[in-house]
Chain A
């Protein structure tokens, strides 16, 4: 039962009220104290209520400040974002930020999955690459940014490299695990039918590792977005980073918050989409695990 939590993943809430357990229905205490709620919308009330409360506090605290120099109320940020979204400059900056992201991200997926497949499939390969992968996994990738700059300058190339470096590790590791932990029984079954190595790989191992690969894609995408933002705040010549720097210099805090919000929304949207896709692709695995 692999329940280890990874960065960015959401634990599946295992318990719901209702449903028979040993012929007994109702409150099953699996460490969670449950309440038999009368209506299904009660949880939603709490959820929306808490989000609303946070936004309210944000708003009121912001208004209570004497100046909007350091903290901007929620409505201020939203309206600033709205204003910015009307300007061509904003979207230009967005585009300039996005270009290295997309390239770096795609590269990370391609290289990451390829490497991950090799590492997962061949122990020898895993052994050889182990020191590098372990080190890169433990290292804060942001420390490699100056190296990337020295190597490739401050143009798109170094930015693509940084995004790539941020994303590739997680994609590789998760893909490798997806391949490595394919159910032994499945592989043995394929071998019992005298399948060739290649066919075995294509028809059994690869499909079975898809959930792991998709998890890698999701997490790697999140990391690539982080890389994109790191590029923006450490190498600030172009894109959103330039905007951030400008607004900070001019104390246009609302606009600053707005740009940050835009970046955050981008990140969230990508995560949500990636998670949806992952769930769709991995459905059979979830069903299987739920049944056992």
Chain B
């Protein structure tokens, strides 16, 4: 396994708990969540619906505060959104009233650049996702896959150390999804960023990641963290290797048990 040249743990999640007040009382979404993400690592989080993985991701992003525990990035506690982290969203969330190039530069505008400057600065990132021709187009004129690339370019444009991806390919059809996974793989290889990737798909998690966190639900906790001992760079063919299949089978077994499937065999 090619060791990523990181400098140890970049993100530390310690004793995270999160409760929500609902009409029916207190709902405990997360409890005693502890793990660390290494620098320049591709780290996936997988779990059944409602296990709180998106909530967790938003906490790292600084959009939600934990009820208890702490999250530190590079030694600094997370208090809100910051320049070092950028998010990619499942439903793309582009500005419908702005063209593609403006959308890519949006993060930069939020940091204080003028419209003109941010559009200028956004160009190389649009190139990197292969959509240069569409800079003046509007989001609704683009396919789902293309829109998500715009979302990715937007995140990359602010130069974050950490990419937070919330089921980014969940809204795409199967073929586009696979293409996007391969594109992301190539992009990441070149970019050297730390990625936390939330997904439903075991295949996706196994294909893309260095490690996979499997979450339990009700309340959301860490079930186990799996290593992905697949060599890099990866291509299509790894999906057919025994290691890959074992990994996904193991994940499926865990998840199935959590979803209350009575036919699941006893855990090994």
Check if A and B associate: yes
Residues of chain A whose beta carbon lies under 8 Å from any beta carbon of chain B: 18-20, 22-26, 36
Q: Is the interface of B mostly helix, strand, loop or mixed?
A: mixed
Is the CB–CB distance between A25 and B20 below 8 Å?
yes
Chain A hits for B29, CB < 8 A:
23-24
Contact assessment for A19 and B52 in the assembled complex, using a CB-CB cutoff below 8 Å? no
A24 touches B23 (CB 8 A): no
Shortest CB-to-CB span from B53 to chain A, Å, is 10
- In angstroms, how far is the closest chain B Cβ from the Cβ of A161? 47
Contact across chains for B20 and A26 when beta carbons are under 8 A apart = yes
Residues of A contacting B52 with CB < 8 Å?
Answer: 23
Residues of chain B lying within 8 A (CB to CB) of residue A18: 21-23
Closest to B58 in A: A24
CA gap between A24 and B57 in the complex, in Å: 13
A20 to B23, CA, bound (A): 9
CB distance from B225 to the nearest CB of A (A): 23
Digitize B39-64: 1 where CB-to-A-CB distance is under 8 Å, 0 elsewhere: 00000000001101011000000001
- Rounded to whole Å, the gap between the CB of A69 and the closest CB of chain B is 53
Q: How big is the B interface, by class?
A: 10 to 19
Q: Please list the residues of chain B having a beta carbon within 8 angstroms of any beta carbon in chain A.
A: 20-23, 27, 29, 49-50, 52, 54-55, 64
Dominant secondary structure of chain A at its interface with chain B: loop
- Cβ A25 vs Cβ B21 within 8 A: yes
- Distance between Cα atoms of A23 and B49 in the complex (Å): 9
Which B residues are in CB contact (< 8 Å) with A36?
Answer: 21
Determine the residue in chain A with the shortest Cβ distance to B55.
A24
In the assembled complex, how far is the CB of residue A25 from the closest CB belonging to chain B, in whole angstroms? 4
- In Å, the complex CA distance between A20 and B54 comes to 14
Whole-angstrom distance between the Cβ of A278 and the nearest chain B Cβ: 28
Question: Could you list 6 examples of A-B contacts with CB < 8 Å?
Answer: A20-B20, A23-B29, A24-B29, A24-B64, A25-B21, A26-B20
**How far apart sit A187 and B29, CA to CA, in the bound complex (Å)?**
45
With a CB–CB cut-off of 8 A, which chain B residues contact A22? Answer: 54
Report the Cα distance A20→B26, complex, angstroms: 12
The answer to whether B21 touches A26, judged by C-beta atoms less than 8 angstroms apart, is yes
Within the complex, what minimum Cβ distance (angstroms) separates A40 from chain B?
A: 12
Bound: A20/B27 CA distance, A: 10
What chain B residues lie within 8 Å of A26 (beta carbons)?
20-21
Chain A positions within 8 Å of B27 at CB level: 20, 25
The 6 closest A-B pairs by CB, nearest first: A25-B20, A23-B50, A25-B22, A18-B23, A26-B20, A20-B22
